[in-house]
């Protein structure tokens, strides 16, 4: 978080034709004092909007407190609330761990790199698509039949962090799923 003062992601999709998700999560940081900053978090879903403020120690990135619905939580409760608010950002880490598979020439190929702008951040983004569809991927004991796939990844200027800026993924096995994960904006700290 220390690299960016704000980030907004959107995710939407359907699983098994019944579970629909349409969410936006954003955070914006403000410095409170030396070594301490607040993370203002907004999480909007189909059923409403929730927001909270997390106070974070920038020395070790630990959560000091979270204020939500007029209540302030500390310790493990604060960490739990913070983790639930930041869940959508977890997708970035979850899928980021699979970048080796998601960009493997066995299954996918790059269609090129272009400069893209997300809020005030502009950086080079590489697009990856499936070699052919439908595509059967068997990695680490998991088999999926992919029916649509587009992945865009890039490294924001001044960082060494590889971000997934766009992911559209649809599958017919092991379950029917179709979702899109998209970086909307980011601002460097």
| Three-point CA angle 77, 89, 69, nearest 5° | 40
Residues 53 and 43: beta-carbon distance below 8 Å? no
Q: Cβ neighbours of residue 157 under 8 Å, at least 6 residues apart? A: 121, 122, 123, 188
25-49 confidence digits (pLDDT tens)? 898 988 888 889 999 988 888 888 9
Give the whole-angstrom CA distance, residue 176 versus residue 14: 8
Q: Cβ neighbours of residue 16 under 8 Å, at least 6 residues apart? A: 175, 176, 177
CA nearest to 90, candidates 158, 160, 11, 28: 11
β-bridge mates for residue 31, sequence order: 37
Burial class of residue 13 (count of CB atoms within 10 Å of its CB; 0-12, 13-18, 19+): middle
pLDDT band at 147 (very low <50, low <70, confident <90, very high): very high
Sign of torsion over alpha carbons 80, 85, 86, 87: positive
Find the helix packing angle between 87-96 and 75-85, rounded to 10°.
Answer: 70
74-125 confidence digits (pLDDT tens)? 999 998 888 777 765 655 655 666 778 888 899 999 999 999 999 999 999 9
161-187 confidence digits (pLDDT tens)? 788 899 999 998 888 889 898 999 998
Question: Could you write out the DSSP letters of every residue in 62-123?
Answer: EEEEEEETTEEEEHHHHHHHHHHHTHHHHHHHHHHTTHHHHT-TTTEEEEEEEEEEEBTEEE
Q: Which of 14-23, 64-73, 124-133 has the lowest mean pLDDT?
A: 14-23
């Amino acid at each position: 978080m220390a690299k960016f003062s704000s980030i907004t992601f959107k995710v939407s999709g359907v699983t098994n034709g019944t579970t629909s998700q349409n969410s936006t999560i954003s955070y914006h940081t403000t410095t409170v004092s030396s070594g301490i900053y607040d993370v203002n978090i907004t999480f909007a879903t189909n059923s409403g909007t929730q927001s909270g403020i997390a106070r974070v120690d920038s020395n070790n990135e630990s959560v000091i407190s979270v204020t939500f619905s007029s209540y302030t939580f500390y310790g493990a409760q604060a960490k739990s609330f913070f983790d639930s608010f930041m869940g959508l950002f977890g997708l970035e880490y979850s899928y980021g761990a699979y970048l080796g598979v998601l960009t493997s020439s066995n299954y996918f190929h790059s269609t090129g790199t272009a400069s893209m702008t997300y809020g005030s951040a502009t950086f080079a983004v590489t697009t990856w698509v499936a070699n052919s569809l439908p595509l059967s991927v068997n990695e680490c004991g998991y088999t999926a039949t992919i029916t649509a796939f587009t992945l865009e990844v890039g490294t924001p200027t001044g960082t060494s962090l590889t971000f997934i800026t766009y992911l559209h993924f649809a599958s017919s096995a092991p379950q029917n799923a179709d979702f899109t994960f998209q970086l909307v904006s980011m601002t460097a700290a």
